[in-house]
């Protein structure tokens, strides 16, 4: 297995961020990539750049997803589309809960159930689910720094569980399943958070973050792996992010720590 064995990929949430970076990466590897998103302008720009196929589709449009799934034999499915909201269970709005469940979880379940059976019949394929460390760790008072909510955490935990169970359902086939679980990534979730009037700017500009290309590289690593190897899960966090206590070293702190360690090494 690997890029030489795959021909066609579908990437959701493809108009920007991790999705767009993944489209570029898979196209560079020679795959025909169908880029799915709602933003027609950005998709057109991405298609002009990469030659990807445009799928202007809302992931909540089940009829459109069903038609798309039947239009091609997808060897690689990258479930990346997602949304976030800022709240906790004490003030979460009903619409926010519904939106996050629909986009982050239901759409992934539907696309997977529509595409994975064909992979199993062909005995070839790779499902990549982009989750989040929010699906594995509770953030407490730091939740707002991730622009996330209890519903976001719950849906990403659902993606983790889906990925595990999907491997069981596909047991005996050559279809592989990978969960990519990123920490802080410089995507639209943090858009405009460096603005001077934004109280959360200190959580972005002063910290090192992952880039979308870093996550695309992780996806490529998993897909490229030999047939005997299923990269089940990759947790990707910034070097100066400690997940267990949800600590983030700022650029200033990181430089100070580096200087201290360098001094100790030279002593």
135: Cβ contacts below 8 Å, ≥ 6 apart: 153, 155, 156, 157, 158, 159, 160, 181
Beta-strand (E) ranges in 73-169? Answer: 76-79, 125-130
DSSP letter assigned to residue 210: B
Q: How far apart are CA 132 and CA 125, in angstroms?
A: 23
Beta-strand (E) ranges in 28-174? Answer: 32-37, 53-56, 76-79, 125-130
42: Cβ contacts below 8 Å, ≥ 6 apart: 15, 16, 20
137 as an active site residue: the answer is: no
16: Cβ contacts below 8 Å, ≥ 6 apart: 37, 39, 42, 187, 188
Cβ atoms 250, 207 nearer than 8 A: yes
Q: How far apart are CA 90 and CA 96, in angstroms?
A: 13
Residue of 6, 137, 152, 171 marked catalytic: 152
Report the b/e string of 210-227 with b at 16+ CB within 10 A.
bebebbbebbbebbebee
Point out the residues that are catalytic: 152
């Amino acid at each position: 297995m690997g890029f030489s064995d795959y021909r066609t990929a579908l990437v959701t949430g493809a108009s920007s961020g991790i999705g767009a970076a993944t489209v570029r990466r898979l196209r560079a590897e020679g795959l025909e990539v169908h880029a799915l998103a709602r933003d027609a302008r950005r998709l057109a720009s991405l298609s002009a750049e990469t030659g990807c196929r445009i799928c202007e589709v809302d992931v909540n449009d089940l009829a459109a997803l069903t038609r798309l799934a039947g239009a091609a034999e997808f060897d690689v499915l990258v479930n990346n589309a997602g949304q976030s909201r800022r709240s906790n269970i004490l003030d979460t709005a009903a619409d926010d809960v519904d939106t996050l469940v629909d986009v982050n979880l239901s759409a992934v379940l539907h696309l997977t159930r529509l595409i994975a059976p064909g992979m199993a019949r062909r005995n070839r394929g790779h499902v990549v689910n982009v989750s989040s460390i929010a699906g594995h760790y509770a953030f407490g008072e730091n939740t707002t720094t991730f622009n996330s909510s209890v519903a976001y955490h719950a849906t990403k935990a659902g993606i983790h569980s889906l990925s595990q169970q999907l491997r069981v359902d596909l047991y005996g086939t050559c279809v592989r399943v990978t969960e990519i679980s990123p920490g802080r990534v410089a995507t639209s979730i943090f858009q405009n958070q460096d603005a001077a009037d934004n109280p959360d700017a200190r959580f972005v500009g002063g910290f090192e973050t992952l880039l979308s290309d870093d996550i695309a590289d992780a996806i490529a690593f998993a897909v490229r792996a030999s047939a005997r190897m299923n990269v089940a899960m990759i947790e990707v966090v910034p070097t100066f992010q400690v997940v267990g206590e949800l600590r983030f070293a700022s650029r200033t702190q990181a430089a100070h720590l580096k200087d201290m360690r360098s001094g100790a090494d030279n002593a």
